[in-house]
Amino acid sequence: MTQSTRGQDPSLTVDAESQSSSRRDFMKTAAMGLVAGVSSTLLGKPAGAAVTGRKPGKVLIAYYSRTGTTREVASQIQRATGGDLFELKTTHSYPQEYRATTNQARRELDSGFRPKLTAEVQNMAGYDTIFVGYPNWWGTMPMAFFTFLEQHRLDGKTVIPFCTHEGSGLGSSVSDLRQLCPKATLLEGLALRGGGISSVQSNSARRDLADWLKKHGMTI
C-alpha cells in the first residue's frame, strides 16, 4: 500500500515502512544538525568561518622613511585600512650619501642616541591599533623610533610592525619593540625587501602585504 508523502509533490509516493524509516532518519539528522548549530552559535561563528578574534578600532600608521620606500608601504597600509598616517621626522638631518648615513646610524645606535622629533601624535589615547614602520638600520629600528616609543608607551594597544630591508628582515626590532612596549599586544610583523620604491610596488610585495593585513583582520 502506498500513500502520498505530506509536504511533497502528490505525484511522489513512498512505501509506508520506508516512509517511517525515512522519518526516523530525518529526525536523527535534524537533531544532529540542531546540536551542530548550537555548537556553532556557542563558538560565535558559523562552521568554517575565519574569525580574527579582535577588532582593530581606530588605526594609526606611524613610520620613519629616509628614501621614501617605507613611506610607500605605509601609504599602501593606509589605503587598505583607512588609518591615519604619522611620519616621524627628526630635528637633525642625515647625509644624502648612503654610506655616510649608515655610519651616522651606527654611531647613534652604539651611543644609545635619542634624536628629537619635530612633532608628536595628537591624542594617542584615541588609537587602538598602531602600525610601526621603519627601514632596518643595523638590525633594528632607526633611533627615532626609540624616541617615539619612549614618548608613547602604547600600553594596552595592539602594535603591528613592518619594515623594509636589504636582506636582514625584521632583525632584532621585534625584541626591541617588546622591551619598549611591554604592556602592548605585539602581532606578527612584515618584512619587505627594499632597494627602492619600485620594489615595494611590485605585484609580489603588494600580495604579501595584502595577505598579511587580511591575516590580522585589518582590511576595510
Q: Which of 214, 208, 215 is nearest to 193 (CA)?
A: 208
Instruction: Give the per-residue pLDDT at 68.
Output: 96
d(CA 141, CA 104): 14
Q: pTM of the full predicted structure?
A: 0.75
d(CA 220, CA 218): 7
Ranking 7-11, 58-62, 125-129, 172-176 by mean pLDDT, the lowest is: 7-11
**In sequence order, what are the residues at sequence separation of 6 or more whose Cβ sits closer than 8 angstroms to the Cβ of residue 191?**
136, 162, 163, 164, 165, 169, 170
**C-alpha radius of gyration, the chain, whole number:** 27
d(CA 98, CA 180): 28
Residue 213: pLDDT over 60? yes
Ranking 37-51, 175-189, 193-207 by mean pLDDT, the lowest is: 37-51
Which amino acid makes up residue 162?
F
Ranking 10-14, 98-102, 114-118, 158-162 by mean pLDDT, the lowest is: 10-14
**In sequence order, what are the residues at sequence separation of 6 or more whose Cβ sits closer than 8 angstroms to the Cβ of residue 75?**
85
Using DSSP, state whether 59 is helix, strand or coil: strand
Are residues 171 and 139 in contact, defined by beta-carbon separation less than 8 angstroms? yes
Q: How far is CA 14 from CA 7, 23, 27, 41, 200, in A?
A: 13, 12, 17, 36, 66
Q: Parallel, antiparallel, or unpaired for β 2-4 and 13-15?
A: antiparallel
- The phi, psi pair for 108, rounded to 5°, reads -65, -40
Q: What is the pLDDT of residues 184-206, one digit of tens each?
A: 999 999 999 998 999 999 999 99
Which three three-digit cell numbers place residue 38? 548550537
Locate the domains of the chain by residue range.
Answer: 8-43, 59-215
CB atoms within 10 A of CB 96: 8
Instruction: Give the per-residue pLDDT at 156.
Output: 97
Ranking 14-18, 24-28, 111-115, 183-187 by mean pLDDT, the lowest is: 14-18
Q: What is the pLDDT of residues 132-144, one digit of tens each?
A: 999 999 999 999 9
89 vs 38, residue with greater confidence: 89
Q: 165 - beta bridge partners?
A: 193
200 vs 25, residue with greater confidence: 200
Read off the pLDDT band of 37 (50, 70, 90): very low
Instruction: Give the per-residue pLDDT at 48.
Output: 26
In the CATH hierarchy, which fold is given to the domain comprising 59-215?
Rossmann fold (3.40.50)
| Interval 113-123 mean pLDDT | 96
Residue 85: pLDDT over 50? yes
Instruction: Give the per-residue pLDDT at 54.
Output: 56
